[in-house]
Amino acid sequence: MTIAPSASVIEVAGLRKHYGEVRAVDGVSFEVRRGEIFGLLGPNGAGKTTTVEILEGLRTPDAGTVRVLGIDATRHPDRIKERIGIQLQTAALYPFLTVSEVLDLFRSFYARSRSTAWLLEALDLGERRHAQTRHLSGGQRQRLSVALALVNEPELVFLDEPTTGMDPQARRSLWDLVLRLREQGTSVLLTTHYMEEAEQLCDRVAVMDHGHVLELGTVEELVTRRFHERAVHFDTLPGLDMAELGALPKVKRAVIEDGETVLYTSDVAATIAALLARTEVLGRDPTNLGIRRATLEDVFLDLTGHALRE
């Protein structure tokens, strides 16, 4: 009999870890499905790292159940090690070994491994292959730590703030790599402070604060759950008064923000059609017409009362 692979690579229920008075993780539950990129978002101290380290089998929870690739991660961490990839904090790299040497060393720990050439290419470290790790820049070190997480061709990769310290170009190329990994069937759990990173990469996210998961779902779900309206915005046009704009179909609110007229609407198409009909009468086209929806950052502010990065 063959056993179908489980649809979930991570199942966490009622997870709790307290340090004295500090409730680092206080009843966290979620699952990560096979083949998805799942994001844990939250400010410093939210409990992300503690949660991830428990999943990796590096810390023991006070309460709760944790299954990783169908295995109880707290009782059998040894059984998952071959199959997961962990991005270690960069300080732990061997300072006097070269990039290639560290990769080869890590490859030797596993029965199955990717080639050093693949890893150097994927993380754009070819030119630094002979450099001792102590001579790497912050961003290069970060890329090496991601390469090390991929050495054993893991089914599930844990990336803890993978793009911190990277310049925008390196960040984008890491995003591409993460998306490529997903195409190859790898599941990814990542923690991040960067809302844009979550919006670009994550199939689903959990927003954490003070040891709790406050919200869970796709970015689209999180945004539309709280913000039902979209904003239609354009350069303010003389001849249109706010009362009139506020009365256009489906418009909930019309305001002027930073020289722009903004119409909050529950039906973008109906509102724009009516707006264009009205401006046609005036003989003017609205300029810089655009539509935006609330972002994950707005969700976070609304949920916690503070921005993610302050």
Three-state secondary-structure class, residue 218:
coil
* 66 interacts with ligand ATP by CB under 6 A: no
How many whole angstroms from its chain centre is CA 80? Answer: 23
Position 50 contacts ligand ATP (CB under 6 A): yes
Among 13, 29, 35, 45, binds ligand ATP (CB under 6 A): 45
Q: Name the one range near ligand ATP by CB under 6 A: 43-51, 139-147, 199-207, 223-231.
A: 43-51
Check residue 22 for interaction with ligand ATP (CB under 6 A): yes
User: Does residue 39 touch ligand ATP according to CB under 6 A?
Assistant: no
Q: Is the dihedral of CA 159, 188, 185, 113 positive or negative?
A: positive
Contact 263, 232 (CB under 8 A): yes
Are residues 79 and 71 in contact, defined by beta-carbon separation less than 8 angstroms?
yes
Stretch that binds ligand ATP, among 41-49, 131-139, 165-173, 281-289 (CB under 6 A): 41-49
Q: Is 237 in the site for ligand ATP (CB under 6 A)?
A: no
**Cα gap 39→216, rounded to integer Å:** 10
Contact 203, 62 (CB under 8 A): no
Minimum CB–partner distance for residue 134 and ligand ATP (Å)? 24
Residues 233/275, Cβ–Cβ less than 8 Å: no
What's the closest the beta carbon of residue 69 comes to ligand ATP, in angstroms? 22
Q: Is 32 in the site for ligand ATP (CB under 6 A)?
A: no
* Cβ neighbours, 10 Å, residue 193: 17
Query: DSSP character for 135?
Result: G
Asked if 35 touches ligand ATP (CB under 6 A), the answer is: no
What is the spatial distance between Cα 177 and Cα 188, in angstroms, rounded to a whole number? 11
For 227-239, letters b (16+ CB in 10 Å) and e give bebbbbbbebbee
**42 makes contact with ligand ATP (CB under 6 A):** yes
Q: Which amino acid, one-letter code, is at 140?
A: Q
H-only helix segments in 13-73: 48-55
Q: Residue 168: CB partners within 8 Å, gap ≥ 6?
A: none
Amino acid at 180: R
Among 24, 68, 201, 272, binds ligand ATP (CB under 6 A): 24
158, 159, 161, 162: CA torsion to nearest 10:
170
Which is nearer to ligand ATP, 89 or 266 (by Cβ)?
89
Is 54 within 8 Å of 43 (Cβ atoms)? Answer: no
Q: Does 49 bind ligand ATP (CB under 6 A)?
A: yes
Give the one residue of 48, 67, 204, 233 binding ligand ATP; rule: CB under 6 A: 48
Q: 209 or 229, CB closer to ligand ATP?
A: 209
Q: Which of 6, 44, 89, 115 binds ligand ATP (CB under 6 A)?
A: 44
* Residue closer to ligand ATP, measured from CB, 193 or 250: 193
Least distance from C-beta 213 to ligand ATP, angstroms? 12
Q: Measured from the CB atom, is 17 or 230 closer to ligand ATP?
A: 17
In the set 6, 7, 19, 95, which binds ligand ATP (CB under 6 A)?
A: 19
Among the residue ranges 37-45, 162-170, 177-185, 226-234, the one whose residues contact ligand ATP (CB under 6 A):
37-45
Interface residues with ligand ATP (CB under 6 A)?
Answer: 19, 22, 24, 42, 44-50
